[in-house]
Amino acid sequence: MPELPEVETTRRGIEPYLKGRRVSRVIVRERRLRWPVPEDLDVRLSGQCIVSVERRAKYLLIGAEVGTLISHLGMSGSLRLIEQGLPAAKHEHVDIELESGLALRYTDPRRFGALLWSDDPLNHELLRRLGPEPLTELFDGERLYQLARGKSMAVKPFIMDNAVVVGVGNIYASEALFAAGIDPRRAAGSISRARYVRLAQEIKRILAQAIECGGTTLRDFVGGDGRPGYFQQELFVYGRGGEFCQVCGSTLREIKLGQRASVYCPRCQR
């Protein structure tokens, strides 16, 4: 599933080709995504100039002169730029054609993603209750510490709660907790302020590094597969259950937390 760094890499990849360009038409081949694609999307977007390409959490916000297209990639979605007229494969559901001759193509084999329209995107029901962006000054260890007071839930699902902070998905929560030396099973309310300060720093560092990794492994959003590089070469614990810890040599343990697989080092994380 694309996480925040992959979505940010997508945003950076497509922005230069969209911003300042005018939409000529929208072709919708399949409306049945997680929520139906608006039937009047072509009417709303055609003829408009794209004025911004932004991100909020894992949502891409493609701002036009009047209104905003909200895109979520779901579990298997991707966006890439192609030459107009390129025949569409089975799972290539939507083309946004530009007067430049390019088209932004949305592909989603599992159809868990979304393409929605809003006149006020930050107040849309999907976005208005989201917590702060992790790479801004609005997110820090003090926020984590204060919100965790009295909470018995495990710290890993706590930091993955989008009301606490957005974009800390399973991969990056696992890696940040390892870097901060915190056992993912620990009760959120039992962790000290100093350790939350360290955890917030590691979340910021790892997400920033992952974004740069995605950028360096990205080949081309024009004519390519539109999928950014992932952070796999840097992983210490995620997906490595039963392997040796790269720091201390202990065997990494895999458990279930919040219905998700979690891997941790029993020696490095306490």
Whether residue 219 is annotated as binding a ligand: the answer is no
Beta-carbon contacts of 157 under 8 Å, excluding residues fewer than 6 positions away, are: 257, 258, 260
pTM score: 0.90
Q: Would you call 2 a catalytic residue per the annotation?
A: yes
The per-residue pLDDT for range 70-110, each reduced to its tens digit, is 999 998 889 999 999 999 999 999 999 999 999 999 999 99
| Among 11, 55, 56, 58, the one annotated catalytic | 58
Query: What phi, psi does 204 have (nearest 5°)?
Result: -60, -45
Q: Would you call 254 a catalytic residue per the annotation?
A: no
Q: Is the pLDDT at 218 greater than 50, yes or no?
A: no
Domain segments of the chain: what residues? 4-123, 141-264
Q: Is the pLDDT at 215 greater than 60, yes or no?
A: no
Choosing among 3.20.190.10, 3.10.420.10, 3.30.465.10, 1.10.4190.10, the CATH entry for 4-123 is 3.20.190.10
**pLDDT at site 210:** 87
Q: Which CATH class is domain 141-264?
A: mainly alpha
| Among 2, 121, 157, 228, the one annotated catalytic | 2
Q: Would you call 58 a catalytic residue per the annotation?
A: yes
What is the full DSSP assignment across 157-176? HHHT-TTTSSS--HHHHHHH
